[in-house]
């Protein structure tokens, strides 16, 4: 069945267009045509039409937290919760846990291949630096072993995408190179490394950094640290733009220093898509209060954030161009995990998954499976 959408301002992943209509055939975009040539039976929509978003760091959603008990059905719950929020695909994320938990989540991910919204997995730890543990359990943080490396390389070969967050202090350049050769996206994070250590890891194959500025060595006048390596390099890096994890002025500096490669993540927990106010994380309570998630001692434990909200923050509070903020939630994360041929842009041959946004960038509706869907609430 052919559907034609017209009337909206279109962001195609790169730039805005005010005179294009989108022709959809089944689950794919067939063509972009001049709005003046759209057939009379076209469906008129009002607002901003953009590629549905991608989120490369989601710890849970729909009431489920990714853990050693996670099954493929649980991953379906997480993916569905985020699709309802306008996110076409996610990397469900397991934070630092046991080898058995890692193996279980990888098995669940392999079973979930082909599931709507499932892009692959993100394993954030356990090969981190306990000095920058954040909300991770320090008792589970450990250096990477040969067995760990073999498990991760096998997962990278079998999953559509695998992101591995590690600290250079807990993995050697040779291990990083093997992960990269197997197809994993190696992301540096939860690290107190020096600039030299960060650059050695990047030279070995690390191409990304996890939640820039958070849980990492900071930019100093004599030691630039991991933050400085990212800002002076050309790799990718995720940003949590809830205006809590990173100050708006710090975001402004980062976005001025790096003209491309930075992308948005929510780092959300099982709260996403629910009204829950508390959850458990490795036996510790996480509290949802006043737009932030914390352990009982006040340590930030993920973010209470959606991508439309993050985009609005960047435009209104940080002052970047709307097209850049939108690309940071769509095209750029697709490029980071090698999925730009399917996601992140509105172009012929891409998946027909789009969001309709209001002027404040809040979600009005999302297109998936050949029709419109309304967001929850």
Q: Do 100 and 312 contact (CB within 8 A), yes or no?
A: no
| Residues ≥6 apart with Cβ < 8 Å to 16 | 9, 10, 322, 323
The catalytically annotated residue of 12, 55, 267, 304 is: 267
Cα-based distances in Å from 98 to 129, 141, 148, 178: 16, 9, 11, 22
Token code pair at residue 9: 């301002």
State how far the Cα of 103 lies from the Cα of 145, in Å rounded to an integer.
Answer: 14
Buried b / exposed e over 37-55, threshold 16 CB at 10 Å, is: ebeeebeebebbbbbbbbb
- Only one residue has tokens 């009379």, namely 40
H-type alpha helices, the chain = 72-83, 99-111, 146-158, 173-182, 195-204, 225-231, 248-257, 307-313, 322-328, 331-336
Q: Do 302 and 269 contact (CB within 8 A), yes or no?
A: yes
| Residues ≥6 apart with Cβ < 8 Å to 367 | 5, 24, 52, 352, 353, 354, 355, 356, 373
Q: Is 148 assigned a catalytic role?
A: no
**Residues labelled as active-site residues:** 267
């Amino acid at each position: 069945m052919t559907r034609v959408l017209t009337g909206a301002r279109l962001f195609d992943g790169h730039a805005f267009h005010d005179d294009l209509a989108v022709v959809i055939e089944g689950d794919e975009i067939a063509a972009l045509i001049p709005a003046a040539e759209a057939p009379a039976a076209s469906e008129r929509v009002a607002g901003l039409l953009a590629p549905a978003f991608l989120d490369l760091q989601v710890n849970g959603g729909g009431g489920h937290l990714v853990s050693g008990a996670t099954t493929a059905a649980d991953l379906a719950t997480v993916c569905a919760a985020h699709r309802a929020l306008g996110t076409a695909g996610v990397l469900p994320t397991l934070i630092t846990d046991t080898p058995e938990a890692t193996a279980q989540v990888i098995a669940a991910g392999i079973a979930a291949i082909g599931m709507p919204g499932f892009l692959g997995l993100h394993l954030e730890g356990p090969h981190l630096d306990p000095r920058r543990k954040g909300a991770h359990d320090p008792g589970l943080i450990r250096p990477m072993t040969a067995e760990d490396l073999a498990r991760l390389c096998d997962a990278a070969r079998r999953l559509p995408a695998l992101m591995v967050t590690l600290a250079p202090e807990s993995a050697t350049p040779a291990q990083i190179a093997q992960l990269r050769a197997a197809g994993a996206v190696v992301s540096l994070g939860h690290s107190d490394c020096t600039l030299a250590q960060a650059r050695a890891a990047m030279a070995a194959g690390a191409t990304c950094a996890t939640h820039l500025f958070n849980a990492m060595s900071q930019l100093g006048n004599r030691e630039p640290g991991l933050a400085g390596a990212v800002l002076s390099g050309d790799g990718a890096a995720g940003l949590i733009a809830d205006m809590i994890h990173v100050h708006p002025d710090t975001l402004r500096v980062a976005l001025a220093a790096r003209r491309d490669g930075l992308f948005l993540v929510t780092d959300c927990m099982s709260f996403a898509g629910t009204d829950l106010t508390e959850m458990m994380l490795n036996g510790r309570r996480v509290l949802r209060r006043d737009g932030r998630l914390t352990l009982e001692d006040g340590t930030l434990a993920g973010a209470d954030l959606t991508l439309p909200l993050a985009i609005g923050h960047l435009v209104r509070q940080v002052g970047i161009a709307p097209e850049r903020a939108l690309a940071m939630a769509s095209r750029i994360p697709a490029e980071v995990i090698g999925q730009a041929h399917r996601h992140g842009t509105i172009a012929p041959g891409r998946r027909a998954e789009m969001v309709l946004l209001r002027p404040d960038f809040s979600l009005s509706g999302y297109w998936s499976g050949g029709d419109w869907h309304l967001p929850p609430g």
